[in-house]
Amino acid sequence: MLNILESYFRNAAKYHPKPEDAGQTTYFSGVGANFIFESAKALFKLQPTSSLFSQHQNLLQSLGTSLQDLQDNLTVHPPPDYLFFASLLYVLWLLRLGSGAEIIKTDVGQSLILIVLQYRARVTQLRRDIEKGFYNALVYTFERDWPEFVKRAKEIGVFLPAPTVQLPIGPPLLEGSEIQEELRQPSGDVIVDARVDPLGERCLQEIISAHSLEMADDDATA
């Protein structure tokens, strides 16, 4: 099972499906998502004493590295989100099946959760065509999965440290991006006026609000 899952994620990092492929291929349909569920179901109970536990850790570490590489090299628009949806669904199923699973308690497991959170904070406009194809014929959706993922991550102590998170970068990630100087902010600060999807907008507002509170605290102690 682990070898098949490793192969799946390795190919997912390079997979760029076409919208018309939705529901037509194993990767781009509910079949792929169900495979992720069955894999998580088979692997989440592995204990550190198992010979397969370290292999599972290596898989999660490789997955996190691949997802981090994608968000560090976002030079195309729209972004290559397939690996994000696949990673989210796998980690969410590990959390659903048991938030106390030993693999989630490891530094590797928690690091992967954080990388998934960071990707969503950075890519404010996800590929809706990929989302539609990935969730094809499934009863659950990204709109339901994401809030649950954030909630479960917080329950085990993994969340974005908002004051230190950078705002999403560059026009490739935003539509109608307009940078303006904010007169009441210290020199060099800017605000971003952009049309983003509702989930992305809420994420941006939380980050900006946290940043403002941090500045207010600094002024009060100055």
Give the model's pLDDT for residue 147.
Answer: 95
Give the model's pLDDT for residue 187.
Answer: 33
Give the model's pLDDT for residue 22.
Answer: 76
Nearest one of 61, 52, 130, 69 to 91, comparing CA atoms: 61
pTM score, whole prediction = 0.69
Could you read off the pLDDT tens digit of each residue along the chain, which spans 222 residues? 899 999 999 988 888 888 777 777 777 877 788 899 999 999 988 989 988 999 999 999 999 999 998 888 766 556 678 999 999 999 999 999 876 678 988 999 999 999 999 999 888 788 888 888 888 767 778 999 999 999 999 999 998 876 554 545 443 333 333 333 333 333 333 333 333 344 444 544 554 454 444 444 444 454
Which amino acid is located at 161 in the chain?
A: P
Give the model's pLDDT for residue 185.
Answer: 38
Give the model's pLDDT for residue 76.
Answer: 59
